[in-house]
Structure 1
Amino acid sequence: MSITKSNTKLTLLILGLLSAIGPFSIDLYLPAFDTIAHDFNTQVENVQLSLTSFFVGIAFGQIIYGPLLDKYGRKKPLLVGLAIYVVASILCAFTRDINHLILLRFLQALGSCGGMVGARAMVTDYYSSREAARVFSLLMLVIGVSPILAPSIGAFMLQHLDWHFIFIFLTILAALILVGTKFFLPESYAGNKDLSLAPSSILKNFWEVLSNRTFISYCLIGSISSAGTYAYLAGSSYIMQSIFGLSKSEYGLAFAFVASAMIIATQLNRWFLKRWSSAQISRIANIWQAAVGILMILAIALDMLSFPVLLILIFMFLFGYGFIFPNTSAIALSPFKALAGSASALLGCIQMAIGALASAVVSLLHNETAWPMLSVMCAGAVASLMLHGFVRRYVKTNTDF
């Protein structure tokens, strides 16, 4: 079944929700870090590890889903993943031990990442390369709403309910997405039943994707750039609440403000694509993001990092990332159709692996200052820009869109 004019909006909404379930699962419980730490009689940095385990689960899980999406079609693996997510969320709601929570968040991530891989693959199935960049921008609108709503919802729940209800909410949300996927999402690719799931065959397909210069170049550019975003997710709760003294509700509002930067950027990106190529837009955004990262380091080094300054700089930083993600994703996935699932899996895996590393570094370097978070944010942006410059000069890739 293909997309028709009558079901385009509903299809895009479901794809957006599938893409957002992972980010929403991250953002919703960020205001609860201190509460969970107190409840489990542990340190905040240990609760941060439940975020790191989620990133690791998404990175690892996408490798599993890629071949399954190519062999069995897009919908069946999606439904299985959502079912896993529902079970894991229920268990998270009733756990009483931080180590169990870290493990269950890993399992929850394994369920959620099917939606992320599947949604990207289905966009590649449905649309041409240039149009795919615009559709990714639309999906980012839904994904971008997640960090605006999620912390505020989480803070509201903490004011009126126990933190366990956060995971009950996620259970209900995932169940609704599962129903929507089952009954209203058109299948975009029936699958290749002849495709072997033998390890040697899977590795061969993955190698075909990884050996494509266009894929690996722009996958790494986008993934390294995203390290700063994941560092922000790991460190913002402590910095804004413990260092600058924000309440949980104020943190939710601040988080929503900076997240709106990505929504603005991704929607402007749709207009910019009418005049410039994805490669041109992502390169300019890389320069912008690296410049902001350096300003962050200068601000804290010169003792000028007040809360308003921090908020504005993070807003500007995420504004740049809002242009980088949809364009580098579209370029990276453009060479693939039959292996779109495997390509999408590797793209997400690499991005989340780098994200997990970034969040882990922030946790390990935790010293009750903003230095760890801001240093990782700056390093990711500068490294991405340097790689983009290398690719532009020395690597020939198909970027004519």
Structure 2
Amino acid sequence: MPSQRIQPISQLSLLTLLFPLALVLFEFATYISNDMILPAMPTIVHLFSVDPSHIPSAMSLCLLGGASLQWILGPLSDRVGRKPVMLVGVALFIFACIAIIFVRSYSWFLFFRFLQGTGMCFIGAVGYAAIQESFVEATAIRVTALMANVALIAPLIGPLAGAMVLQVTGWEWIFIFVAIIATIAAAGLWRFMPETSPKLSSPLNLNSLRTDYMAVLRNRRFMAGAISIGFTSMPLLAWIALAPIILMQDAGLSTIDYGYWQIPVFAGLILGNIILAKIVGTVPIYRIIKFGSIPFMLGFALSLHLIYEPEAWQWLVASLSIGAIGIGIINAAQFRLALFASDQSKGTVSATLGIIVMIIFSVGIELSKIAHELAGNGGFVVVCLLGACTAVLARRRFLRGQFGEEAQ
């Protein structure tokens, strides 16, 4: 028999926020492990005698790591509990951060970046499922938006912080710093994370997993939502992965200047999350998502200028900053709707969502890398715009299935 579920929380207090704060601290650690190391990537590929064109692959493999375990973690946490699975994930991430500082080849560096990426599996399939189960809808969206603002401090300050670390010491200290943050997060999760798992009594076997996942994948409304979520953020992830090449290698910026030019993009993302937190609960969710689509498409439409003037990287930063406002407004609201678009257990649904999104991110980054190699910034922009258009089309289908014709 399933265990008794906790009553979802509708009012926020310091006590009820301690679990989200501990989770977002771990999320911050996983993000900043990406963002702080980016300014060091030209140095790292040179150290291991690797061509700079392989720089984005480090992020692609990290994202693939974020998709690798979700298929088992969601159903596993449905049965044995979210909390123990989450704590194992944090421990694995800390191990990867320590181990990577001893590598002696780029292949091993990529392997441990992949292993670090598995930390995102636990956040998506376990941590965020627990958040959605712990709070009522409007409160869950508000908490998710607030968490996103904290997590987004990592990409906002990460590149600049990483550049500053490189001014005084080696890249290895970046991962030592990240491991310390993750250790603090582990202590908070151990103390404050509630157990929201339904504790299903059905055995965990391949047949039951296949049945559960096929039920989710056959849900067209869910699939439209998952595809939209993935392609909404894909251009931003592609920018993060290729920014060292576009800004440092092509434009010739220093590591410090590279960090400064990342700030407008992630400030836009934070602004979008602040807007979402302010209006959720007073405006229907589908109207919030439609509203966020305006700056989203405006920003990527403006980036078309790069096709005619590919060296105008400042224009690319400006257009991405506008598009990021829309991403911040859309993501948390759409994540909530997609998670509850299927009646399957939330661990399984969250895992499926995470796998789809991470695969879209990884493929998008690799396509953007190839397009940039072939056609420079113009090629990069074309891939990003195609991703944005795919997101809008999938989002229209998702909202129509959720709310009817009015939501289009």
TM over 0.5: yes
1:349-385 CA deviation, whole Å, 9 max, x = no partner? 1111100001111223342821343222111111111
Work out whether 1:42 is the aligned partner of 2:50.
Answer: yes
User: 1:400 and 1:166 mapped to 2: Cα distance?
Assistant: 49
**Equivalent residue for 2:370?**
364
| CA-CA distance at 1:111 after TM superposition | 3.3
**Equivalent residue for 1:197?**
204
1:104-147 CA deviation, whole Å, 9 max, x = no partner? 11112123421233221112111122332222111111121111
User: 2:380 and 2:242 mapped to 1: Cα distance?
Assistant: 6
Assess, with a 3 A threshold, how the Cα gap between structure 1 residues 99 and 77 changes in structure 2: closer, same or farther.
same
User: 2:127 and 2:296 mapped to 1: Cα distance?
Assistant: 26
**Equivalent residue for 1:327?**
333
| Cα RMSD, aligned residues only | 2.4
Which of 93, 113, 123 in structure 1 is aligned with 2:121? 113
Contact 2:368 2:384 survives alignment (8 Å):
no
Gaps of 5+ in 1: none
| CA-CA distance at 1:288 after TM superposition | 3.1
Aligned AA for 1:104? F
Work out whether 1:296 is the aligned partner of 2:300.
Answer: no
TM-score (norm 2): 0.90
Identity %, equivalent residues: 25
User: 1:309 and 1:268 mapped to 2: Cα distance?
Assistant: 24
Mapping 1:22-41, distance limit 5 Å = 22-41=30-49
| CA-CA distance at 1:336 after TM superposition | 5.8
DSSP-derived class of the 1:25 partner:
helix
**Equivalent residue for 1:313?**
319
**Equivalent residue for 1:349?**
355
Gaps of 5+ in 2: 1-5
User: 2:343 and 2:32 mapped to 1: Cα distance?
Assistant: 28
| CA-CA distance at 1:335 after TM superposition | 4.4
User: 1:398 and 1:10 mapped to 2: Cα distance?
Assistant: 37
**Equivalent residue for 1:222?**
229
User: 1:195 and 1:19 mapped to 2: Cα distance?
Assistant: 31
DSSP-derived class of the 1:293 partner:
helix
User: 1:112 and 1:251 mapped to 2: Cα distance?
Assistant: 25
Contact 1:20 1:116 survives alignment (8 Å):
no
User: 2:132 and 2:281 mapped to 1: Cα distance?
Assistant: 19
Work out whether 1:91 is the aligned partner of 2:99.
Answer: yes
User: 1:10 and 1:66 mapped to 2: Cα distance?
Assistant: 23
Mapping 1:13-28, distance limit 5 Å = 13-28=21-36
Aligned AA for 2:270? I
Mapping 1:258-297, distance limit 5 Å = 258-297=265-304
| CA-CA distance at 1:199 after TM superposition | 0.9
User: 2:291 and 2:142 mapped to 1: Cα distance?
Assistant: 17
Which of 51, 64, 69 in structure 2 is aligned with 1:61? 69
**Equivalent residue for 1:73?**
81
**More deviation in 29-38 or 129-138?**
129-138
1:186-209 CA deviation, whole Å, 9 max, x = no partner? 323144151321011112222233
| CA-CA distance at 1:304 after TM superposition | 7.0
**Equivalent residue for 2:3?**
none
Aligned AA for 1:340? K
Assess, with a 3 A threshold, how the Cα gap between structure 1 residues 304 and 164 changes in structure 2: closer, same or farther.
closer
User: 2:20 and 2:244 mapped to 1: Cα distance?
Assistant: 31
User: 2:33 and 2:406 mapped to 1: Cα distance?
Assistant: 36
Across the two proteins, how many residue pairs are aligned to each other?
398
DSSP-derived class of the 1:7 partner:
helix
DSSP-derived class of the 2:376 partner:
coil
**Equivalent residue for 1:211?**
218
TM-score (norm 1): 0.92
User: 1:167 and 1:398 mapped to 2: Cα distance?
Assistant: 48
